[in-house]
Amino acid sequence: MLAQSTPNAPFAQAVLTWYDKFGRKHLPWQQNKTLYGVWLSEVMLQQTQVATVIPYFERFVKTFPNLTALADAPLDEVLHLWTGLGYYARARNLHKAAQVMRDQYCGKFPTEFEQVLALPGVGRSTAGAILSSCLNAPYAILDGNVKRVLSRYLR
């Protein structure tokens, strides 16, 4: 429930109402939500449309069902599966980050903001999106969509 004492509470309530009515709630990474799945989706969605990402995400999690499987895979296999999605640095960073998590966090996804932020290819918005989505942690997400909504609201 949203506290009504803040000056922006009506705006926040309007956004939540819109999401309840029109928001996408049945995407593959939203079902049986895991830090691994949300991380994959957030990286794949960087500068790429949702409809394009869905089949790549599904193939990726089928081939690499967890961090260790991704970390242990040859980079060439990761890049091959990424073919057509573009921005290949994202795939290299996913692979590198999975290896970091395998080696430094015993194959677990870290849950502290600074640890997530330190992963290759993860910025503040991506770290915030992962932790707020999976852990209900209060981190800001400032992507292109949020900027567009805020710019219209603040006019």
Catalytic residue ranges: 42
What's the rounded Cα separation, in Å, for the pair 14 and 93? Answer: 36
Helix axes 89-104, 75-82, angle to 10 degrees: 140
Helix axes 35-44, 50-63, angle to 10 degrees: 140
What's this model's pTM, rounded to 2 decimal places?
0.86
| Burial per residue of 83-110, b for 16 or more beta-carbon CB atoms within 10 angstroms, e otherwise | eebeeeebbbbbbbbbbbbbeeeebebb
* Position with higher pLDDT, 80 vs 154: 80
Q: What is the CATH number of domain 32-154?
A: 1.10.340.30
Helix axes 75-82, 50-63, angle to 10 degrees: 150
Residue-wise pLDDT for 47-104, tens only, equals 999 999 999 999 999 999 999 999 999 999 999 999 999 999 999 999 999 999 999 9
User: Comparing C-alpha atoms, which of 127, 126, 125, 132 is closest to residue 115?
Assistant: 127
User: Comparing C-alpha atoms, which of 29, 32, 62, 21 is closest to residue 130?
Assistant: 29
